[in-house]
């Protein structure tokens, strides 16, 4: 991959980590852009538009990931993704021990 | 984390009978209950909370795979099972495809890390098309368990 591609570093903020629902949100957000977007760490980069790929990252709270985008709207895509991570995916966390947890 | 760490062998089901989303969830929760890993009196509450989670967005993550799940205070550790449907079920999956492979997970509320590692394991293994295809073709719980064990022994993972 071209090393000059715009790249950002993002951190998983929400306590539940990058589980199925945040991954779904991230895919929807990334898919709104035409750029190819890769995300990952330690040289393992995966397609940010595939939920199955995102789940392979097993990214818990505090995990630092690198995101890069290749395309005409690369900067816009990275900005949106950065904001989504900063907002913790608006992931709702319930008090442990409550019935019928919604999270996950 | 390996399949053996969270899949209850006795609760694995091939040739699922259910033809609806809720039916599959009921069949697999019942399987966990029959295996003794889930309390019988929690059955309705667990099914309801898994369905509630589905309302937030389908856990049908594509490639004919779904990971219905919930947190539930009645379990002490992450428990899960695998079900295979020959014909597939409309699960309102993200890619619109019918779902043939189900990994149902119930985790204690305070252990988000275990849930993430189970999802990581499932998704890593399913990235391998051979594993995915063999699993969909499985006719018995013994076949499924065999494939899970081979996956645990890294016989499918390509990277």
The two beta strands, B99-107 and B69-71, are: parallel
Question: Which CATH topology does B3-152 take?
Answer: Mannitol-specific EII; Chain A (3.40.930)
Tokens matching residue A67 = 């995101």
B29 pLDDT band, cuts 50/70/90, is very high
The two beta strands, B99-107 and B65-66, are: parallel
Q: Are the beta carbons of A52 and B109 separated by less than 8 Å?
A: no
Question: Which residues in chain A come in under a pLDDT of 50?
Answer: 94-104
Chain B residues with CB under 8 Å of A60 CB are 112-113, 116
Nearest to B135, CA basis, from B82, B94, B92, B87: B82
Burial B68-80 (b: 16+ CB within 10 A, else e): bbbbbbebeebbb
Q: Are the beta carbons of A17 and B113 separated by less than 8 Å?
A: yes
CATH pick for A7-90 out of 3.40.50.620, 3.40.50.800, 3.90.245.10, 3.30.1340.10: 3.30.1340.10
Distance CA B31, CA B141 (A): 12
- The residue extents of the domains of chain B are 3-152
Q: What was the ipTM of the complex prediction?
A: 0.89
Closest-CA distance, B69 to chain A, in angstroms, reads 7
Q: How many percent of chain A have pLDDT more than 90?
A: 79
pLDDT tens digits, one per residue of B91-106: 999 899 999 999 999 9
């Amino acid at each position: 991959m071209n090393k000059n591609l715009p790249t950002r570093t993002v951190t998983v903020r929400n306590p539940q980590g990058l589980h199925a629902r945040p991954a779904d949100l991230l895919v929807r957000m990334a898919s709104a852009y035409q750029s190819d977007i890769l995300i990952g760490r330690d040289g393992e980069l995966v397609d940010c538009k595939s939920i199955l790929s995102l789940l392979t990252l097993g990214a818990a709270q505090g995990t630092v990931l690198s995101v890069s985008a290749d395309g005409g709207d690369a900067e816009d895509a990275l900005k949106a993704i950065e904001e989504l991570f900063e907002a913790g995916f608006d992931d709702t966390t319930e008090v442990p021990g409550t019935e019928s947890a919604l999270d996950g | 984390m390996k399949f053996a760490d969270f899949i209850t062998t006795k609760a694995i089901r091939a040739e699922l009978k259910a033809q609806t989303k809720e039916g599959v969830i009921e069949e697999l929760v019942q399987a966990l209950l029959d295996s003794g890993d889930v309390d019988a009196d929690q059955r309705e509450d667990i099914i309801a909370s898994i369905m509630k989670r589905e309302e937030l967005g389908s856990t049908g993550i594509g490639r004919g795979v779904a990971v219905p799940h919930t947190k539930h205070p009645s379990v002490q550790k992450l428990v899960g099972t695998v079900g295979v449907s020959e014909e597939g079920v409309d699960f309102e999956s993200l890619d619109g495809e019918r779902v043939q492979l189900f990994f149902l997970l119930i985790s204690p509320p305070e252990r988000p890390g275990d849930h993430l590692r189970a999802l990581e394991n499932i998704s890593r293994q399913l990235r391998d098309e051979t594993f995915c295809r063999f699993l969909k073709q499985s006719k018995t719980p013994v076949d499924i368990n065999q494939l899970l064990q081979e996956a645990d022994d890294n016989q499918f993972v390509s990277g």
